[in-house]
């Protein structure tokens, strides 16, 4: 057993402190959301255990139609968006990685141009407006339907599938589409899972385009509601929806705790998926050298 040197004691301590500094602010929010509203004023900024225990904040939030509706919107946009992302990215990646055709160089040039030059937010907004997509889910589902960086990652993965497998299918008379759906997709499950998480996290966290494209609160994703409530400190939408709440609920309102609860609702799905994300996403990032 190697003796612990002074330098490794220092390194272990610093790393431990860093991890604590990441965790405490998050755990404090969790503790606030779970505290008894009558005791939450005793909770200080470094506390990570709730004062008393109550699920009242979550009861209020999860019976709020605005929150429920936005949660549903986020789930819908994330699932539909990710499915479309994966299908389009995979099909393009197959063609670009495994076939040779007239004009391929031109397509690759197009990809580079797209990667280097990013259009500003105004032309994008005007495009969405001109397409009549303002105030539609489609505006969010279609945006970044193919991310060029992810396309390159998948192309590299498809490129590594042994030619002999494809050759065998071709001899059996399979066309490109059949090879793509019957061979490439099943063989690439880990890569597709990784990209699915890349895209899924993007859709789940998206708020800015939703803010400028959607004016109808019924279509807002959770992040927009969260932003209005937590960042802009605008309680009106929440209050309006609370009018139907019981006296008990309204009496016990603590807005900071409700805000904490809303934050937690928006990150709990990420926390549940986090082990998977670490397994695939971190691995993908290691291999692809992705930085977004």
Q: For residues 139-198, which are near other proteins according to CB under 8 A?
A: 142-146, 175-177, 180
CA angle 135, 265, 44 (to 5 degrees): 130
Distance between CA atoms of 207 and 269, rounded to whole angstroms? 16
Long-range residue pairs from 278-283, CB within 8 A, at least 24 positions apart, any chain: 280/190, 280/193, 280/194, 280/197, 281/194, 281/197, 281/198, 281/201, 283/194
- Of 25 and 190, CB closest to other proteins: 25
- Please return the burial class of 235, using the count of CB atoms within 10 Å of its CB with bins 0-12, 13-18 and 19+: middle
Mark the segment that binds other proteins (CB under 8 A) among 51-59, 63-71, 137-145, 234-242: 137-145
CA 287, chain centre distance (Å) = 20
Q: Which of residues 199-258 bind other proteins (CB under 8 A)?
A: 201, 204-208, 212, 223, 226-227, 230-231, 256
Indicate which single residue of 80, 83, 88, 174 sits in contact with other proteins (rule: CB under 8 A). 88
Size of interface with other proteins, in residues (CB under 8 A): 88
Residue 179 has, within 13 A of its CA and on its CB side, a CA count of 21
- Of 29 and 195, CB closest to other proteins: 29
Q: Which of residues 25-44 bind other proteins (CB under 8 A)?
A: 25-26, 28-29, 32, 43-44
Per-position x/- string for 46-75, each x denoting binding to other proteins as judged by CB under 8 A, each - no binding: x-----------------------------
Distance between CA atoms of 226 and 212, rounded to whole angstroms? 15
Does 45 participate in binding other proteins (rule CB under 8 A)? Answer: yes
* Diameter of the chain measured on Cα atoms: 74
Q: Which of residues 263-292 bind other proteins (CB under 8 A)?
A: 263, 266-267, 270, 274, 277-278, 282, 285-286, 289, 291
């Amino acid at each position: 057993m190697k003796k612990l040197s002074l330098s490794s004691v220092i390194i272990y301590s610093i790393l431990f402190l860093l991890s604590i500094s990441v965790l405490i602010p998050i755990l404090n929010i969790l503790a606030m959301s779970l505290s008894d509203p009558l005791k939450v004023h005793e909770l200080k900024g470094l506390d990570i255990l709730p004062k008393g225990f109550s699920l009242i904040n979550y009861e209020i939030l999860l019976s709020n139609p605005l929150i429920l509706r936005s949660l549903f919107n986020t789930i819908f946009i994330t699932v539909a968006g990710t499915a479309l992302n994966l299908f389009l990215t995979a099909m393009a990646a197959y063609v670009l990685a495994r076939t040779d055709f007239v004009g391929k160089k031109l397509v690759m040039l197009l990809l580079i141009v797209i990667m280097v030059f990013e259009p500003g937010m105004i032309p994008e907004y005007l495009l969405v407006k001109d397409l009549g997509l303002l105030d539609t889910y489609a505006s969010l589902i279609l945006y970044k339907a193919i991310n060029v960086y992810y396309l390159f990652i998948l192309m590299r993965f498809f490129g590594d599938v042994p030619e002999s497998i494809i050759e065998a299918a071709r001899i059996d008379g399979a066309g490109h589409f059949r090879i793509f759906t019957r061979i490439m997709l099943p063989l690439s499950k880990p890569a597709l899972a990784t990209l699915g998480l890349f895209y899924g996290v993007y859709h789940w966290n998206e708020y800015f385009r939703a803010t400028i494209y959607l004016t109808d609160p019924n279509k807002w994703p959770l992040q927009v509601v969260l932003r209005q409530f937590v960042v802009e400190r605008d309680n009106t939408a929440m209050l309006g929806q609370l009018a139907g709440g019981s006296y008990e609920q309204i009496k016990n309102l603590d807005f900071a705790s409700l805000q904490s609860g809303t934050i937690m609702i928006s990150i709990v799905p990420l926390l549940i998926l986090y082990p998977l994300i670490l397994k695939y996403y971190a691995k993908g990032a290691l291999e692809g050298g992705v930085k977004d």
